[in-house]
Amino acid sequence: MNKDNFDYAIDNTQVILAPQRQIATFGSTSFHFYLISELMDRANEVRVRDGKIHADRPQILTSEHFSRLLLEGFGDKAQRYVDQLREQARNFAVLRYGFQFRKTDVTERMFRDPLDAVIARTKSQVEDMEEPLSAVIQGVDDAWEVCLLKFTIDMIERSSGGNIGDFRKHGLI
């Protein structure tokens, strides 16, 4: 995949229905996704992929741990620089999110309908099922995994503030 295809997939990823919940702070979270894409070479042929993305519990990386990760494969000069960073950022913490995407959980269905009709029908079905951890995403067929990654990054951005607040409330950072 070239950069233009990658950028096109990112730019054309749209969350139609976002999960009602965010990534859990103190446990793993599984999101059910429905990724809808129109086939590029065929009019009114739409693919719906559905499956799960598993988000591991966010982990706190302290400045000590983070600096060790930065130093893998670097020499003494890098060590001195990281030592300076460590002194300046004693209260520095980073959250690390881990996702597992298992393709075995993915199923595909094809529809011969306009894209808007498939989107509306899928959204309505998900809303009727009242699945608070489900998402309906419109994306690009050939680069659907990139669209799914964009969704996961957006979920991390949405969740991180609440996760940091939870960690602070419990005195962990």
Hey, where are the domains in the chain?
A: 3-57+99-169, 59-96
pLDDT score, position 126: 93
- Alpha-helical (H) ranges within 35-143 are 63-71, 76-88, 115-129
Per-10-residue mean pLDDT of the chain, 173 residues long, equals: 82 91 74 92 90 76 57 60 61 58 73 95 93 91 86 78 73 71
Taking the C-alpha atoms of residue 155 and residue 74, their distance in angstroms, rounded to an integer, is 32
pTM, two decimal places = 0.72
What pLDDT is stored for residue 1 in this prediction? Answer: 65
The b-or-e profile of 115-139 (16+ CB within 10 A means b, else e) is beebbeebeeebeeeebebbbbbbb
Rounded Cα distance between 39 and 47, Å, is: 7
